[in-house]
Structure 1
Amino acid sequence: MIEPKPTKVRTALGRNLTYGMLDTVGRAIVTGHYDGKRFPTEAELATEHGVSRSVTREAVKMLTAKGLLSARPRQGTIIQPNTAWNLFDTDVLRWLLERQFTLPLLRSFNELRLAVEPMAAQLAAMHATSAGVAMIAAGYARMEAAERGDDDALDADIAFHVAILRACDNPFFAQFEDLVSTALRTSIRFTNRFKGRSASLPAHKAVLEAIAARDASSASATIRSIIEDVMILIRQAESEGAVVDRGAAVLG
């Protein structure tokens, strides 16, 4: 069967039309473009973006695999509730960064950090190689450089925490890298009017020194206190009815 030729000018989807379509529609779903609206049919999407039905169909299949869409008899393709989204998917996490955040979502991210990072620090203290410790030390050095204005504070903070996940000698923990990175990036959208500050260098240095000294309990407790500090601010903001401010920063 020959597909009808698209009737509109193709939108800027990039060279790979399928992945361009995936990115465009996925971002629209996650950022709320379709909230309260009927999700378009494949034919409507193809016409709107100026691509073939086969491109649209493949993109919809990929979004369905990510938990964003569901095809149901007599209902067509509908958007799934965010509880069904694959929040460990790299694309979904990337699109979430462009969404208007709520404090409950920020709290959820940091609750998961509390479940992961203290154990990762404990394992790093127990199992990290000299190269792993050096990688964590390099992340901390970047944080010091950021304090002097010679590096990006958020990127440096992420490098430190990701290095711990990589150094703990457990491939499952390393898989949390994208999620922890996203959680840290969301913090920059959280208001700092309660306690404006950048990431605590002494606290992060204490984590590094505990890992280097093979003090597993101290490494775990110290990184837990860093995340708990952010959780206290979140709970305080929730109690005061605050909203997320995209321009402010709280780092963990």
Structure 2
Amino acid sequence: MVTHPGRGLHGQAVEEMGRRIIRGDYPPGSVLHPDKLEEDLGVSKTVVREALRVLASKGLIESRQKRGTTIRPRADWNLLDSDLLRWQGSSAPTDRFLDDLAEVRAIVEPAGARLAAARRTDADLAAIRLALDAMAAAGTDAEAMVEADLAFHRALLDAAHNELLSRMEVVIEAGLRIRDRIVHGAQHFSDSVPVHRELLRAIEAGDPDAAVSAVESLLTQASQDLAAVQPPDEHDEDAAERQQEQTR
């Protein structure tokens, strides 16, 4: 079993099995055999049983008498689960997955910025400024930049003071972490501090329209940076069709 630092045997079994399901190693409808999993992962029956219970709670598998444990259709998966989002982006995310995340960000973040400009408190502004300072200080440290970027957008959503909107953090964070890992890992990206600073200024000024405009500029820059370093996914039919249309 591939080890996943910081996790016990149970956590590592969940991680490994979850990643395999998301990757398609165990396609929907296929049967999982606990004995074979014990052998493959090198863990006990108890660990496998508990791992299967966790995966069932995420909608990935189901167990029935006479049919055993099977992989459920993708439509039944809890795709907003933080682990599933992380697993989908942990190896080589498809263009379709990245596009879906970008679309969700384009829907959620402008609305969050508009509300943040109207509702932010001094504490919210302090949190956003702190994250921006960390971004500026990160320089070429990709990991530090990723964490600072996540903190900025987390603080932005929190500043909207809408509990349900704040819960969208799990999707925004997944999208940001995957995008930032690809872009900053390639060491080829635009300086995003100025556009983040412009967003902060709009929120400080209490200007909802300016905040929305700044977020849209930020998202455009993020998409351009990703496109500059991410080759088309040869296995993504939608991406292939889009590329053909662009060359016509």
Per the normalisation by structure 2, the TM-score is 0.77
Look at both structures and tell me which one has the larger radius of gyration over its CA atoms: 1
User: For residue 59 of structure 1, what is the amino acid of its counterpart?
Assistant: A
Selected match of 1:242 from 232, 235, 247:
232
Corresponding residue SS for 1:88: coil
Q: Distance in 1 between matches of 2:139 and 2:190?
A: 9
Q: Is the 8 A contact 1:114 1:227 kept in 2?
A: yes
Q: Is the 8 A contact 1:39 1:77 kept in 2?
A: yes
Q: Distance in 2 between matches of 1:210 and 1:67?
A: 41
Q: Is the 8 A contact 2:55 2:61 kept in 1?
A: yes
Q: Which protein has the bigger helix share?
A: 2
User: For residue 233 of structure 2, what is the amino acid of its counterpart?
Assistant: V
Question: How far does residue 208 in structure 1 lie from its aligned partner after superposition?
Answer: 0.2
Q: Is the 8 A contact 2:2 2:16 kept in 1?
A: no
> What does residue 81 of structure 2 align with?
89
Question: How far does residue 232 in structure 1 lie from its aligned partner after superposition?
Answer: 6.0
Distance 1:218 1:164, change over 3 A: same
Q: Distance in 2 between matches of 1:148 and 1:191?
A: 12
> 2:122 matched to 1:133?
no
Distance 1:19 1:154, change over 3 A: closer
Distance 1:90 1:72, change over 3 A: same
Q: Distance in 2 between matches of 1:190 and 1:150?
A: 10
User: For residue 22 of structure 1, what is the amino acid of its counterpart?
Assistant: V
Q: What are the superposed Cα offsets for residues 220-245 of structure 1, whole Å, 9 maximum, x if unpaired? A: 2220232134446778999xx8239x
Counting aligned pairs with the same residue, the percent is 33
Selected match of 2:204 from 192, 205, 212:
212
- 1:86-125 correspondence runs (5 A): 86-125=78-117
Number of residues paired by the alignment? 230
Q: Which residues of structure 1 form unaligned runs of 5+?
A: 1-9, 245-252
> What does residue 193 of structure 2 align with?
201
> 2:21 matched to 1:26?
no
Coordinate RMSD, CA, aligned = 3.4
Question: How far does residue 133 in structure 1 lie from its aligned partner after superposition?
Answer: 0.7
